[in-house]
Amino acid sequence: MDNAILQELYDYYKEDHSLSQSELIIAMLTRIQETVGYVSKDVQEEVARLAGVNRGYVAAIIKNLPHLHAQAFRHEIRVCISDRCKARGGSDLLKKLQKLLKIKPGQVTKDGVFLLNTEYCMHNCMHGPNIKIDGRIYENVQISQLPQLLEKLRH
C-alpha cells in the first residue's frame, strides 16, 4: 500500500478528535484490512511511524484483534469450540488441523493458503462438530475427512 495513501488515511482519522490514539490505529488497520486483505509488516511500520508508536505496538493490536491479519491467506478455517461441539469431537478436530497445517489458531500456513481460527459457537450444535471454511459451515466433520478436504482446498 502506498505511503501517500496511508498518510491520507491517517489524516482522515486524525480529524476525528473523539478517537484515542489506539482507536485511530485500529480504524486505520481495519480499513487497510478491508482494502488489501491483510496488514503487511511494511504497512505496520508506516502506520507506527505516522502514529508515533513502535511497530511492536501495532503488531500487538493486530495479534489481539481477530479481524486483523498480518499475512495474506486464501482460505480461513474456523473450528467451533463451543461445549457441544467439543463434546462431539471439536477439540480433536482442532488438534488434528493444527498437526496437519503445522500452525496454531490465529496463524497462517507457511504457503499462505490457510488461516486457522476458532469460533465459540456457530449455532449449529445439533450437527456438530462444525467447522467453517470461508464462511460456509461443514457439519458433523470427522477427523478422517480433514486431509481430503484440505487437499481439495489447496487446488
* SS3 per-residue string spanning 8-50: HHHHHHHCCCCCCHHHHHHHHHHHHHHHHCCCCHHHHHHHHHH
For the chain, domains (ranges, CATH) are 3-64 (1.10.10), 75-154 (3.40.30.10)
Are 43 and 58 in contact by the 8 Å Cβ rule? The answer is: no
> What is the Cα–Cα distance from 132 to 97, expressed in whole angstroms?
13
Which positions ≥6 away from 121 have C-beta within 8 Å? Answer: 80, 82, 85
Structure confidence at residue 17 (pLDDT)? 79
Are 59 and 97 in contact by the 8 Å Cβ rule? The answer is: no
Indicate the burial class of 142 (C-beta count within 10 angstroms; 0-12, 13-18, 19 or more).
exposed
Q: How many residues does the chain have?
A: 155
Are 3 and 26 in contact by the 8 Å Cβ rule? The answer is: no
User: Amino acid letter at 127?
Assistant: H
List per-residue pLDDT tens for the chain, 155 residues long.
Answer: 677 888 888 888 888 878 898 999 999 999 998 888 889 899 999 999 988 999 999 999 998 887 888 888 999 999 999 999 999 999 999 999 999 999 999 889 999 999 999 999 999 999 999 999 999 999 999 999 999 999 999 98
- Enter the pTM of the model: 0.71
Are 137 and 78 in contact by the 8 Å Cβ rule? The answer is: no
Structure confidence at residue 19 (pLDDT)? 85
Structure confidence at residue 18 (pLDDT)? 86
